[in-house]
Structure formats: structure tokens, C-alpha cells
Chain A
């Protein structure tokens, strides 16, 4: 099976494609189409030109785009790039089954084109045809044993089919194979023009996050935490946002305990980070609802609150998150803590409302007396008619959203 020359050919093809993409953005659609037509008149069998032309209408008029491809196929003859491009169009429209048919046709024409196999593997996974997807990724591995995307693809399918042991082996392989050259190749072959923006670190972080997920599935929480720590090391500036959000997602996917473990580790590294503290508490709360007894959860919250610089604001937001998540019982505990420990009598009303809803009479009676009616009426005014309260436009909104006043309640 001849292999090497196909890959070299594809590389030049995609550099052409990237150049054309740049030209399109420089010229604008109309001028670009005119320029393509002129070149096509001289060189009607240039596949890249036909495909570039079809891409002008990819979003605005898919039907026309399809027609351009068919016309191209007529003048150039059968080439795998045409069914591949048709498949991409159909996939964008959401017709995955038909797209897969076209991709199979493309693979038949050119079994060595990695980017077609990448797309096919990804789509097959999306429609849950896991066995077929696995075969496709194996084909890529046979073409190039050091293809990180193929090992990653294999691993992700094994993750979905709950073969976690293999998934772990193969995500390791993906990480071993990862280097700058392959990442750039990967971006070229998937048609991405953001080669520079998506660096090796970014792809590595994605793989590590997936490995962490597999490890969590296997109950190896500290191993997963190790992976998240590596991600933090790679992204010190963004450590507080993207990957903590990932942790939140984990918390919602029954990986509460695992998420707690790695957030604990994160807090060890950054004890002053308010957001981590809160997410940790939320996750601990959600986990408490599912598995742990309340007392354990309160200990966890206490532990993280001791690290927090402004526990009142943190607890306040924590309670809001918990209510949104439907974790009523932990939310009640948080409000109680705010009133009892920090003297925030404003929150007594929340305690009362929750206690009433839960039918907890004794709590209701205890906290009813503590309600700070003056503060409550002020807070209500802010909420109901923000225009009458003097709040700086750039100050934080008093509703507690965390946004600026001008972008939140002060918007109207």
C-alpha cells in the first residue's frame, strides 16, 4: 500500500487552502469569487480552486456550494476531496448519516488521507457507531503510529464504551506522541487557520483533561488531580477560569468526589483564590446532597471558608449556586452560617423561606425574629427599582450578580 507520497501531497494542498483563506479575507467574497473564476478559466482541473469556491457559499447557501462541488467533480474527475467536502457541508447541516456515506466514498478513493479519516472517526463517534469509529482510528494509527489525534480518538471511544483501562492506555499514547509538529499538522489537516493560537500547550491540556476524566471514572482521584495540576502549570494565567469551569462540569457529572479532590489540591497551590474556594464548596455541597452526610459537608465548607478572605461574599454566592442546583439543604446551612456566624441578618429571610418550604417549623420560628426588616426593604428597593438607588455605574451591582451595575440591573 503506497503511503508516503499521499501525505506529502495533502500538506501542500492544505497550505494552498490556507493561502486561499487568507486571500478570501483580504479581498472580500465577491472579488475573491471573481478572482477564483478567472483562475479556474485558465486551470479548470485545479481541485483546490473548486473547493475554495464552494467554501464561499458554505454558510450562506449550502445548495449552491454543493453545486459548485459537483461541477468541480465533473471537470476534474473523481477525487476524494469532493466527497469529503460534500460530507463537511452535510455535517454542518446536521445530516451526519449522509455525511458519513460521503466520507466512506472518499476513503474508498483515497485510503491514506488522514484528514478524511479524522473527520470520519469523529462523525462516527457522534452518531454512536463506536465499532466503526474504532476501526477508522486504527487505520490512521496504521498509517502513522505517532498520530496523537488517532490515539486520542481511540481513547475517547473506549471511554464512551466504558473500556476505561484501554482508554487510559491510549490517551497516554496520545500524550506521548504529542509534539509541536504534529499539532500544527493536525490543525492544518482539519482546515483550521488558527495554527498559532492553538498551541501545543492547549492541545496537551485538552488531552490531560480527558485523561483526568478517565482516571476519575476509574476512581483514581489523586491521579486525576495530578493531571489537573499539570494543566495549571501549563496555564498559570488561566488556571482560575477555564479549568475550574471544567471542574464544575465534572461535579455535575457524578464526579463530585474527584472534583473535590483536585480542587483541594488546587486550593493548596492557590489558597487565596476566591473562585476555587467557592467552586470547591459548591461541589462539596452537590456531593453532600448525593452521597455524603451533611456533617461531613459542613466540615468541608468550614475548611475552605477558613482559607477565604471574604467569607461573607463567598458564602452568599455559594448559597445562590446551591439553590440553583437544587441543593436546598446545604443552601439552608450556608444561610444559617451567614446569619449565626457572620451576623448577616439580611439572610434570615432566606433561612425562613427555605425552612417554611421544607416544613421546618423550629428553624422558621428561630430565624423569623432575626430578620433585618430595614435592610430587607432597602434590598428590595434596589431589586425592584434600581434607578432610585445611588449606585456608581461601574460599581458592582447590588443584586449580587458579580457584574458591573451598568451591565446588570442598571442597564435599563
Chain B
């Protein structure tokens, strides 16, 4: 069991309190429902930033805990090892985006950077890779900032590190902006050989077929905002990887069998949206069938491309890797009360032009 130390919370609280006093924050609050709440609750509402931080902190901690357990299961089943072998990562600098509890990092050759926004996950990753006898240095501070569009946001502390990458690094960063990762790499005048983005989405289900369609669109720079993080990885991948470097996606996929598989069900049979934040999972089945009709037909005929021109859209599918995770993931999902969710993992390797 991973034990987390609350080393960052005071810092978060302090930054949130400082932000709270900013006039633009007060202006923002006036425009939102918060202002009404102030009227109702009165002066007591001033404690809000503290509560807000504690709630963020709690959810981060619980996510890190859950994912550490799932990741441990994946790791023990050999899934991460299989991913590293299948993607042929033997040497060079690898940046693992959204590294979570470090399952993949433990299997990578030395000289990697693990990136995640959750400082508790980074702590878990540190413990995990150290237990595998690897040395690592962690930079995981964050603060609370404010954006008038989206309100309060968790921001990683900006690090401008001098390192020769002999040491493995765990770095706090927001994958919506990639600021710290870029700072770290550019300050050293290097680019990564490989960027990995594996097992994204935690416990959520995902439609592999939609992913293929989407990735083809995104790689061709067509707009599709349905999936923020993979889109950002595709956008920033070429910035952080050298020319000829690779982007490795390992995606949890849900093989489409019928409209009922678009949703998971809790023990009482109620439909729940397990892919919180993923619009793809909350669309209706009929809509999905209509949208991806052509792809389903192709898949039925076995005509989904396995390898396309690498420079343009390098897609490799390794179905063997899928077999490893399926059983474990099913068990895990059973534990949290989700059924009817056949899960597999597919690996996509894209070459940076």
C-alpha cells in the first residue's frame, strides 16, 4: 500500500489564498453563482479557498490511490513490460506523459522523464521505481492559479532545471500546456526520442474504433475537440520529440458489440458514465453506430489499416498486448461494480515528421 505525504497542501492553500484576494477573482465570483452563495452564506464564505483546495487535494489523493492499485495489477501482469517491448523502446530519452504511479517508468531504460499533474501520483511513482532499484529525482510542487475563462486551476510549479538526464526525473506538469516538460527539455537543448502516453483515462472505457478515426483526423490537423489530452499529446509531441522520434499510445479500448457496451452499469443496473469527462462515452449508441458505420464495416471485413505510411500516419497495432490486460482489467472493474465492459489495450506508434 502506498503512503502519501501531504507535503504540498500548505503551499497550495497559500497560493489559493493569495489568488482569492485578486480583484479579477472577485470580479469573476460576482459573475458566477458563487456570488449568490456569498449572499446566502455571508462572511463564512471566505473560508472557501481552503475548502476548495482540500477538496482538490482529497480527490487527487484518492485518484492516486486507486490508480496505484490498478497500475500495480497491470505491472504484475507484465502489461507495461509488453508495451515497452512492443513499442521497441531500447534506449534514448523517453518522456512518459501522464506517468501516474510509474508502472511504465519501472520498465523503461534509464534516462526518462515521468510527467504527471498529480503530485500524489508522482510520490507513488517515486516509491515504486525506487523499489525496483532505480534512482529518481522528483519535482512535484504545484500552486493554485486563476483563469477568467475556467476559474481556479491547479498549476505545476515552473521548474527551470539543469540536468544531464543521467538521473531519471519525475516532473509535475499539466498536459494541457506542457510548460514544464518543454522548459526542462529546451533548457537542456535536447528533444526526446520517444514520448509515451499509456493507459490514459484511468478506469474509463474507450472505443478503439473511434480512437482510430479520431487519431487519423487529429494527425491530419482536422479539428476534433472531443478528446482533449490525446489531442494535446499530438500537438505537443512534435515539439518535445526530435525529428524521427516516436509517439507511443497505449490505449484501453472497448470492443464495440452493441449500444449497451457504450455504458457501464452499477450493481443495481443503473447506467453510469464511467468515462467521466469523456464525451465519447456518453453519446447514445445509435448515434455512434451511424457515425462510425463505415469504420465498423471496414473492421468487419478486416480492412482497418495495420500499417500505413509511417511518416504520415504511422500506425502499428499489436493485438498480443491486449490479451495481457483484459482479464485483470475485468477483475478490477468487477471490484468497483462495473460490468459489461470488455477491455483491451492497443498500441499505436506514430513517427514524428
Question: Which residues in A have some Cβ–Cβ distance to B below 8 Å?
Answer: 1-5, 8, 138, 141-146, 151, 166, 168-170, 172-173, 176-177
Within the complex, the shortest CB–CB distance from B151 to chain A, in Å, comes to 11
Taking CB atoms, residues of chain A closer than 8 Å to B188 are: 169
Partner of A4, one of B145, B180, B187: B145
Given contacts A142-B158, A145-B179, A145-B180, contact A5 B186 (CB under 8 A): no
Q: Mark B117-154, 1 if CB is under 8 A from A, else 0.
A: 00000000000000000000000000101111100000
- Of B160, B178, B186, the residue contacting A138 (CB under 8 A) is B160
Cβ-defined contact, A2 with B187, below 8 A: no
| 10 pairs of residues in contact across A and B, judged by CB atoms under 8 Å | A1-B143, A4-B149, A8-B148, A138-B160, A141-B187, A145-B158, A145-B178, A145-B183, A166-B189, A172-B189
Cβ contact of A5, chosen from B148, B160, B179, B183, cutoff 8 A: B148
- Chain B residues with CB under 8 Å of A2's CB are 19, 22, 24-25, 145-146
Binding site for A on B (CB under 8 A): 15, 18-19, 22, 24-25, 143, 145-149, 155, 158, 160, 178-180, 182-183, 186-189, 191, 239
Most A CB within 10 A of own CB, among B15, B187, B191: B187
The reply to whether A168 and B189 form a contact with Cβ atoms under 8 Å apart is: yes
Q: Point out the residue from A3, A4, A176 that lies within 8 Å of B186, measured CB to CB.
A: A176
Q: A169-B189, A172-B189 are in contact. Are A5 and B147 (CB under 8 A)?
A: yes
Return chain B residues, CB-CB under 8 Å to A138. Answer: 160
Measured CB to CB, the closest approach of chain A to B146, in angstroms, equals 5
- The complex places the Cα of A176 from the Cα of B245 at a distance, in Å, of 15
With A2-B24, A145-B178, A170-B186 known, 18 other A-B pairs at CB within 8 A are A1-B15, A1-B18, A4-B145, A4-B146, A5-B24, A5-B148, A8-B148, A138-B160, A141-B187, A142-B160, A144-B179, A145-B180, A145-B182, A145-B183, A145-B186, A146-B179, A169-B189, A172-B186
From known contacts A168-B189, A169-B189, infer whether A1 and B145 are also in contact, taking CB-CB under 8 Å.
yes
Cα distance A168–B24 when bound, in Å? 40
| Assembly CA distance A138 to B178 (angstroms) | 17
Q: Which of A4, A145, A173 has the most CB of B within 10 A?
A: A145
Q: B160 touches which one: A4, A141, A168, A177 (CB < 8 A)?
A: A141
Chain A CB within 10 Å, residue with most, of B148, B149, B155, B183: B183
**Across the two chains, which residue of chain A brings its CB closest to B159?**
A142
Chain B residue, CB-CB nearest to A146: B182
Q: Which residue of B is nearest A138, CB measured?
A: B160
Question: Using Cβ atoms and an 8 Å threshold, which residues of chain A touch B189?
Answer: 166, 168-170, 172-173
Return chain A residues, CB-CB under 8 Å to B191.
176
Which residue on chain B has the smallest CB distance to residue A172? B189
Q: With CB as the reference atom, state the residue of chain B lying closest to A155.
A: B189
CA distance A173 to B185 in the complex (A): 9
- B182 proximity list for chain A (CB < 8 A): 145-146
Residue of A at shortest CB range from B181?
A: A145
Contact partners of A143 in chain B: CB under 8 A: 158
B158 & A4 in contact (Cβ 8 Å cutoff): no
Residue on A nearest B22 in the bound complex, by CB = A2
Residue of B nearest to A166 (CB): B189
Chain B, residue nearest A165 (CB): B189
A3 touches B145 (CB 8 A): yes
Q: Are B187 and A169 in contact (CB under 8 A)?
A: yes
Q: Please, which residues of chain A bring their CB within 8 A of the CB of B179?
A: 144-146
Report, nearest first, the 7 A-B pairs whose CB atoms are least far apart: A169-B189, A173-B186, A142-B158, A145-B183, A4-B147, A145-B182, A145-B179
In the bound complex, CA of A5 to CA of B151 (Å) = 10
Beyond A145-B179, A168-B189, A169-B187, is A3–B155 a contact (Cβ under 8 Å)?
Answer: yes
Please give, as numbers and ranges, the residues of chain A lying within 8 Å of B146 by CB-CB distance: 2, 4-5
A1 CB contacts on chain B under 8 angstroms: 15, 18, 143, 145
A108 to chain B, nearest CB (A): 16
Q: Which residues on the A side are within 8 Å of B22 (C-beta)?
A: 2
Point out the residues of chain A lying under 8 angstroms from B160, CB to CB: 138, 141-142
Q: In the assembly, what is the distance between CA of A145 and CA of B180, in Å?
A: 7
Task: State in angstroms the CA–CA spacing of A207 and B158 once bound together.
Answer: 25
Give A169's nearest chain B residue, CB to CB.
B189
How far, in angstroms, from A142 to B191 measured CA to CA in the complex? 19
- Complexed CA–CA distance, A169 and B161 (Å): 14
B184 nearest CB neighbor, chain A only? A145
Given contacts A5-B146, A142-B160, A169-B188, contact A176 B239 (CB under 8 A): yes
Q: How far is the CA of A142 from the CA of B160 in the complex (A)?
A: 7
Bound: A172/B18 CA distance, A:
36
Chain A residue at smallest Cβ distance from B149: A4
**CB closest chain-B residue, reference A167:** B189
Which residues from chain A contact B187 at a C-beta distance below 8 Å? Answer: 141, 169-170, 173
